[in-house]
Amino acid sequence: MLPIALEEATKIVQAFLLSGKEYVCLMQLHEDIPSGRVESILQEFAGEIYQKPPLRASVKREIRKRRIYSIDILEVDGRRVLFKVGCQAGTYVRKLVSDIGEVLRYGAHMSELRRTRAGPFTEDKDLYTLYDVLNAYASFKENKDETLLREIVKPMEQAFEYIPKIYVRDSAVSAICHGADLAIPGVVKLDSHITEKAPVAIFTLKGEVAALAKALLSTEQIMDQEKGLAAKTVRVIMPPETYPRMWRSKTSKTSITDL
């Protein structure tokens, strides 16, 4: 499962770095080990772990925290163990397997890996091959039928299913799209589990994503206060002139405090 962003939707790629992933992995043990012991050790890795990226990695090799949401054995055949793991983005499964092997004391390595979920997209309902895309395009060209294309090419807003959202009034959208930070008076509604410094998505009341931001306050603080900034805009997604401009710039850095 590899989501592909097209044209303006490339701005949302960062959203996939904020969403969890799920993998099915085939682990090869280096010695015969009872399946009950393997299952017990795997469960010890559920939760927050410390992980150092492997030698062949695209990031700096330094120890960092990652969260394992779930890890379950699917099948055991001798020294081969098939398991499913749900994890935080940025988790290296082959390093996870290596660490499991060290705890088992006899070593292990990853033989095969398949990503079955990326954010809200799963292989059960969202996976298409390039041949599927080709056939859908051919159907559109020949019959003007968009049905298959619309099943494959999804609205970018679906990528934000698991990211906390703040919905803003129409009068605030243009300012946000010009890079302004979000002030509390511009908020109409928001998710209940927003925490300070956590990533959030700013949405319009029509359900359109306007920007990615970093929360400056928790849900409770935003609801309790009447003034101040609620979130700092990090990445503008919506074109600036989509909504009419309804704000005046008093300084070079604009916020929507007066709306």
Residue 39 sits in a domain whose CATH number is 3.30.70.3190
Closest CA to 222 of 195, 202, 256, 259: 195
Q: Which of 54, 85, 118 is the last residue of a domain?
A: 118
For residues 66 and 188, give the distance between their C-alpha atoms in angstroms, rounded to a whole number: 33
Encoding tokens for residue 199?
A: 């990533």
Q: In this structure, is residue 126 part of a structural domain?
A: no
Q: In this structure, is residue 252 part of a structural domain?
A: no
Q: In terms of domains, do 27 and 102 share one? A: yes
Q: In this structure, is residue 50 part of a structural domain?
A: yes
Q: In terms of domains, do 103 and 46 share one? A: yes
Contacts of 53 (CB under 8 A, 6+ apart): 59, 60, 61, 62, 64, 92, 95
Q: In this structure, is residue 153 part of a structural domain?
A: no
Q: What is the predicted pLDDT for the residue at 56? A: 76
Q: In terms of domains, do 51 and 111 share one? A: yes
Q: What is the predicted pLDDT for the residue at 256? A: 47
Q: In terms of domains, do 106 and 174 share one? A: no
- Residue 63's SS3 state is coil
Pairing of strands 199-204, 165-168: parallel
Q: Which of 118, 141, 175 is the last residue of a domain?
A: 118
Q: In terms of domains, do 34 and 93 share one? A: yes
Q: In terms of domains, do 191 and 106 share one? A: no
pLDDT digits (tens, 9 = 90+) for 119-145: 999 999 999 999 999 999 999 999 888
Phi first, then psi, for residue 226 (nearest 5°) are -105, -20
Whole domain around residue 69: which residue ranges?
20-118
Encoding tokens for residue 183?
A: 């002030």
Phi first, then psi, for residue 134 (nearest 5°) are -60, -45
CA dihedral for 50, 56, 62, 64, sign (positive or negative) = negative
Contacts of 196 (CB under 8 A, 6+ apart): 215, 216, 217, 218, 221
Reported as half-sphere exposure (CB side, CA atoms, 13 A), residue 238 has a value of: 28
Q: Report how many domains make up the chain.
A: 2
Q: In terms of domains, do 95 and 178 share one? A: no
Q: Is 149 exposed, middle or buried (0-12, 13-18, 19+ CB in 10 A)?
A: middle
Q: Which of 94, 118, 142 is the last residue of a domain?
A: 118
Q: In terms of domains, do 87 and 171 share one? A: no
Encoding tokens for residue 163?
A: 């990211």
Positions of the chain with pLDDT lower than 70, given as ranges: 247-259
The radius of gyration of the chain's CA atoms, rounded to the nearest angstrom, is 23
Q: What is the predicted pLDDT for the residue at 248? A: 66
Provide the 8-state DSSP code for 180: P
Q: In terms of domains, do 28 and 83 share one? A: yes
Cα–Cα separations (whole angstroms), residue 1 to 89, 119, 181, 225, 255: 14, 10, 34, 42, 39
Q: In this structure, is residue 39 part of a structural domain?
A: yes
Q: In this structure, is residue 109 part of a structural domain?
A: yes
Q: In terms of domains, do 24 and 114 share one? A: yes
Q: In terms of domains, do 184 and 104 share one? A: no
Q: In this structure, is residue 11 part of a structural domain?
A: no
Residue 170: give its domain's CATH number: 2.30.130.10
Reported as half-sphere exposure (CB side, CA atoms, 13 A), residue 80 has a value of: 9
Q: In terms of domains, do 37 and 106 share one? A: yes
Helical (H) or strand (E) element with 86: strand 80-87
Q: In this structure, is residue 58 part of a structural domain?
A: yes
